[in-house]
């Protein structure tokens, strides 16, 4: 490919790693973001998010002059839109960022440009929203401007690896658009690149995450059933998964993140009468924070008790609290009136509007450690510190990730809920 100038709009958890990866393989990349702090940090070779290996890569490509950041788009040969797509209170997609990014890009377009939307979007957004904006500006998408959707499909903590190795789906508004977009990704992607229509790419991304959401809902419903029937749900999952064609997912305090907790709604809003299973799964997973708090109130009837809440992010070893069920659990515990010590070694204080404690401060005089995220730091707790600082110490592990050796620490997880039906005396 001769055209090597790229403008990436949106420098978040996907846009920044994507921009850095293109810069690494020789593209001249301009990153655009509305956050001046993120722009300033990037131009210093620093990052504003946590991701393995990203800080070193950004430092290298910024120092090499291959990546720079600014607040406004610029002329380029190719554009990637990687802005957030949150949802409204009614759970319909908020496409305002995608629309604003597209409109901001329009003055800098020239004939032959390739425009790619990586943001997760409802089906037909490329055809019904993005393409008309380009048409209104005088372009013919698919002829003089090439338009495609290439959804990200990476795992936080492994983004730089999976950007390269994972299969990429490229959906064009027509075949030539898909081919142009695929050519871009071939500059660093070693995985297969599958070419399809834009609407199929949109739907495939949503269904990948909906599949996981539905299956987690099945595991979470099993937990609720097992609690009623005095069954060890975790043992049931382990036993059932010995079947060669069964793979039950792991339960937890809910489902979070920018994908699993949001994407299913983008399908529901387009076909509500046909997406009953998907909607019910969302309801089940959304109910889990309340279920967790109900178990806590059985353990600690005295609302003057202190709880050490461990983990705010939606998954382990990342700093992302978007749609995290842990945040919902925290709010519910506050409403119940419990005293809280909140500890998450991956979340910076400026990300939240409440006080984050150290490990020691969080457990001081607490009567329960509530594990909501499976950070590596939590898997082997300092049991001596727990015994020295806590009253009648117990651990309620909603992620089944902690190993406890001391018999003086009461341990509960989703496999032992029957044991906490009668409240402990505190």
- The candidate with the shortest Cα–Cα distance to 109, out of 184, 197, 9, 34, is 9
Residues 38 and 152 in one domain: yes
- Specify the 3-state DSSP secondary structure of 27: coil
Mean pLDDT lowest for which of 40-49, 125-134, 348-357, 399-408?
Answer: 348-357
Please tell me whether residue 323 adopts helix, strand or coil conformation.
Answer: coil
CA atoms in the 13 A half-sphere facing the CB of 167: 8
Co-location of 48 and 80 in the same domain: yes
- For range 353-374, the mean pLDDT: 95
Same domain, 322 and 235: no
Residue 406 reports pLDDT greater than 80: yes
How many C-beta atoms surround the C-beta of residue 231 within 10 A? 16
137 and 94 within one domain = yes
Domain, as residue range, for 346: 288-420
Instruction: Tell me the average pLDDT across 368-382.
Output: 95
Residue 292 and residue 276 share a domain:
no
The tokens of 140 are what? 């013919």
The answer to which of 158-162, 189-193, 256-260, 342-346 has the lowest mean pLDDT is 256-260
Q: Please tell me whether residues 212 and 252 are part of one structural domain.
A: yes
Averaged pLDDT score across all residues of the chain: 94
Whether the predicted pLDDT of 282 surpasses 90 = yes
Quote the pTM value: 0.88
Model confidence at 350: pLDDT above 90 = no
* pLDDT above 60 (res 266): yes
Closest CA to 66 of 190, 188, 243, 157: 188
Does residue 102 lie in a domain region?
A: yes
- Catalytic residue numbers read 205, 259
Q: Is residue 426 part of a domain?
A: no
Q: How far is CA 2 from the centre of its chain?
A: 35
21-35, 95-109, 124-138, 256-270, range with the lowest pLDDT: 256-270
Q: Is pLDDT of 2 > 70?
A: no
Asked whether residue 54 falls in the same domain as residue 167, the answer is yes
CA distance 384 to 288: 31
Last residue of a domain, one of 253, 270, 285: 285
Determine, yes or no, domain membership for 310.
yes
How many domains are there within the chain?
Answer: 3
Specify whether 237 is located in the same domain as 338: no
| CB count in 10 Å sphere of residue 388 | 12
Beta-sheet pairing, 5-9 with 28-32: parallel
| pLDDT for residue 3 | 52
The answer to whether residues 30 and 175 belong to one domain is yes
pLDDT at residue 421 greater than cutoff 80: no
The whole-number average pLDDT for the span 285-297 is: 97
What's the pLDDT band for 425 if we cut at 50, 70, 90? Answer: very low
Q: Is residue 425 part of a domain?
A: no
End-to-end CA distance of the chain: 69
Residue 152: partners with Cβ closer than 8 Å, 6 or more residues away: 14, 18, 82, 118, 120
Mean pLDDT of 90-108: 96
**Domain endpoint, select from 170, 197, 224:** 197
Q: Which tokens in the block code for residue 370?
A: 């509530």
Angle 54-63/36-43 helices, nearest 10 degrees? 70
277 and 292 assigned to the same domain: no
Does 257 have pLDDT greater than 90? no
Question: What average pLDDT does the segment 381-390 reach?
Answer: 93
Q: Please say which residue of 197, 221, 238 terminates a domain.
A: 197
């Amino acid at each position: 490919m001769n055209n090597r100038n790229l403008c990436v709009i949106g420098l978040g958890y996907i846009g920044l790693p994507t921009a850095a990866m293109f810069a690494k393989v020789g593209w001249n990349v301009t990153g655009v973001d509305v956050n001046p702090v993120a722009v300033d940090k990037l131009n210093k070779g620093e990052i504003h998010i946590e991701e393995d290996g990203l800080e070193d890569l950004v430092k290298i490509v910024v120092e090499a002059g291959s990546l720079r950041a600014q607040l406004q788009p610029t002329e380029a040969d190719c554009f990637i839109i990687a802005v957030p797509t949150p949802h409204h209170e009614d759970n319909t997609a908020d496409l305002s960022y995608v629309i604003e990014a597209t409109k901001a890009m329009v003055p800098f377009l020239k004939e032959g440009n390739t425009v790619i939307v990586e943001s997760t979007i409802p089906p037909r957004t490329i055809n019904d929203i993005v393409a008309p904006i380009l048409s209104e500006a005088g372009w013919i998408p698919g002829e003089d401007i090439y338009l495609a959707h290439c959804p990200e499909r990476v795992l936080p903590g492994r983004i730089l690896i999976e950007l390269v190795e994972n299969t990429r789906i490229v959906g064009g508004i027509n075949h030539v658009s898909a081919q142009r977009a695929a050519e871009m990704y071939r500059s660093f992607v070693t995985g297969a690149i599958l070419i399809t229509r834009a609407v199929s790419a949109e739907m495939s991304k949503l269904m990948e995450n909906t599949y996981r959401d539905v299956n987690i809902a099945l595991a979470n419903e099993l937990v609720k059933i097992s609690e009623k029937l005095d069954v060890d749900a975790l043992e049931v999952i382990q036993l059932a998964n010995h079947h060669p064609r069964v793979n039950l997912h792991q339960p937890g305090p809910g489902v979070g993140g920018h994908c699993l907790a949001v994407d299913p709604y983008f399908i529901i809003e387009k076909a509500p009468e046909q997406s009953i299973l998907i909607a019910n799964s969302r309801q089940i997973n959304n109910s889990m924070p309340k279920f967790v708090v109900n178990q806590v109130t059985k353990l600690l009837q005295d609302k003057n008790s202190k709880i050490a809440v461990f983990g705010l992010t939606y998954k382990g070893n990342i700093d992302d609290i978007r749609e995290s069920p842990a945040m919902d659990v925290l709010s519910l515990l506050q409403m119940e009136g419990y005293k809280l010590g909140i500890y998450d070694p991956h979340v910076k204080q400026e990300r939240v509007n409440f006080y984050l404690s150290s490990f020691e401060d969080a457990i001081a005089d607490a009567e329960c450690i509530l594990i909501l995220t499976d950070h590596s730091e939590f898997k082997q707790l300092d049991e001596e510190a727990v015994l020295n600082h806590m009253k009648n110490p117990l651990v309620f592990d909603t992620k089944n990730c902690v190993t406890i050796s001391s018999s003086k620490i009461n341990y509960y997880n989703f496999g032992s809920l029957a044991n906490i039906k009668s409240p402990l005396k505190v």
